[in-house]
Structure 1
Amino acid sequence: MDGMSQRTRLTPEQRREQLLDLGVRLFATHSLDELSIDVVAREAGISRGLLYHYFGDKVAFREAVVRRAAADLVAQTAPPATGDAAERLLASMTAYVDFVDANYEGYVSMVRGAASDPVLRKIYDEAFGALGGRIFDAGADFVTDSPAARLLVRGWQAMSEELVLSWKTDPAGLSREELLSILAGSLLTLLEMLEQG
């Protein structure tokens, strides 16, 4: 028996969090369009009305799920506090590739949805900004914070995202280790070129 079907008394906040956790797990393997109230209610063993009670409507539920998934992405890709810049960046990029691999359908759905939905765009931009900003916030010893460096990091992030998503559907002969080496090495090389520039 799973935790959702057991008869335990949960507080409203615990039940809401439980439903949100389930939504995030389903979002990993379902697109946003496939993440319906019916699917979640069936998986949770509850009525549709209970989901509406906790989230208001399907749009609010989907937004809450995407917010949680984006927060999970940022948390799971946090670089270690120790090690040199290259090691920390490689660890963070490894976690990013792992996250995309484990949550591919949902991640692609979030990226595509951000192109047309202003709410998803805001969530996506916040996560994207947090991922790029940590390169500067961590007191990185390999980059001087400047508008040019921030532009370069943002461009590298976009390239990295596209490369990982494309690699996931067709590795084109690149091993996972080669992909990670390219991702981490390319940022360090670009920033070094900027510093020399």
Structure 2
Amino acid sequence: MTSGVRRRMGVEERRQQLIGVALDLFSRRSPDEVSIDEIASAAGISRPLVYHYFPGKLSLYEAALRRAADDLAGRFVESAEGPLGARLLRVMARFFDFVEEHGPGFSALMRGGPAVGSSTTNALIDSVRQAAYEQIVAHLRVPEPPARLEIVVRSWISLAESTALLWLDGRRVPRGELQAQLVHDLAALLAVSASYDEETAAVLRRVLADEPADSPFHDLVTRLIGLGA
């Protein structure tokens, strides 16, 4: 038999609870549509108590973004074992898992939201992009990427962002196909850059040498050859 007495949370525990509640609400609807009253109700506390832990919705939104940014950055972490193409497919699957779980919040962050343009928000977005960049470069096994390779990887990360945003707007293309297409996009960008730059060409040759016949990269080559048939 329970007493019905609610356990009192410590300060940090309550802050983390509010961040989790806010992130859940922001993930399902645009942050502009979520009120402090809704957050308080979902957390089971009063509106004034929310303000005791956060000075306003913007600060709570930024805290929720920080947790989401850490989560998203973690989706790009992948073991360095096995062919690169298969690794990237797993990374893209986790990336789109995040996009699906946090659709409205992801869209608001990238397109516009209550904290867009703030130094905190910009720093969080940049930190995710940098984490993704460092992970991809690590998988390419290039400690100090030449300029063209850096451009390729950062351009591909931007492409993944924009592709996810467009996909959220109607989901008119099967998710699995987009995940594979983005892996192909990176291979294609590398190939174009390799035609101009020997350093990038050396990286691409090494990557392809490690890819099995059924890899996404070889699948791209097969598809391209089929276009000319």
User: Shorter-normalised TM-score: what interval?
Assistant: 0.7 to 0.9
- Residue 38 of structure 2: aligned partner: 39
Moved more, 64-73 or 29-38: 29-38
Partner residue of 2:89?
Answer: 90
CA distance in 2, matches of 1:77, 1:26: 24
Gap change, CA 1:51 and 1:160, over 3 Å in 2: same
Cross-structure match for 1:103: 102
Mapping of residues 1-197 of structure 1, within 5 Å: 7-113=6-112, 116-136=117-137, 138-141=138-141, 145-172=145-172, 174-197=173-196
Give the secondary structure class of the aligned counterpart of 1:94. helix
Q: 1:23 to 1:65 in 2, by over 3 A?
A: same
Q: Distance in 2 between matches of 1:139 and 1:131?
A: 11
| TM-score, scaled relative to structure 1 | 0.86
Structure 2, unmatched stretches of 5+, are 197-229
Percent identity, aligned pairs only, is 34
- Contact conserved, 1:29 with 1:105, CA < 8 A, in 2? yes
How far did residue 144 of structure 1 move? Answer: 6.7
1:84 positional shift: 1.6
User: Which deviates more, 90-99 or 110-119?
Assistant: 110-119
Q: Distance in 1 between matches of 2:37 and 2:171?
A: 35
Q: Would the alpha carbon gap of residues 101 and 187 (structure 1) be closer, same or farther in structure 2, given more than 3 Å must change?
A: same
Q: What letter matches 2:136 in structure 1?
A: I
**Separation of aligned partners in 2, 1:121 and 1:144:** 25
RMSD over aligned Cα, in angstroms?
2.3
> Which string of whole-angstrom CA distances, capped at 9 and with x for unpartnered residues, describes residues 41-88 of structure 1?
011110112211112222211111111111111123422342221111
Q: Give the secondary-structure state (helix, strand or coil) at the position aligned to 1:82.
A: coil
Deviation string 1:80-109 (CA, Å, 9 cap, x unpaired) is: 342221111111111111111121100001
Amino acid of the structure 1 residue aligned with 2:135: R
Cα separation, 2, equivalents of 1:29 and 1:37: 15
Q: Give aligned pairs, total.
A: 191
Over 3 Å counting, the alpha-carbon distance change for 1:6 and 1:185 in structure 2 is farther
2:27–2:105 contact (8 Å) kept in structure 1: yes
In the alignment, the residues of structure 1 paired with residue 170 and residue 20 of structure 2 have an alpha-carbon distance, to the nearest angstrom, of: 30
What 5-or-longer segments of structure 1 have no aligned partner? none
CA distances 1:139-179 after superposition (whole Å, capped 9, x unpaired): 5248971222122212112222112221222344x322221
| Contact map agreement 2:133 2:157 (CA 8 A) in 1 | yes
* Residue type of the alignment partner of 2:130: G
CA distance in 1, matches of 2:30, 2:79: 31
The TM-score, its normalising length taken from structure 2, stands at 0.75
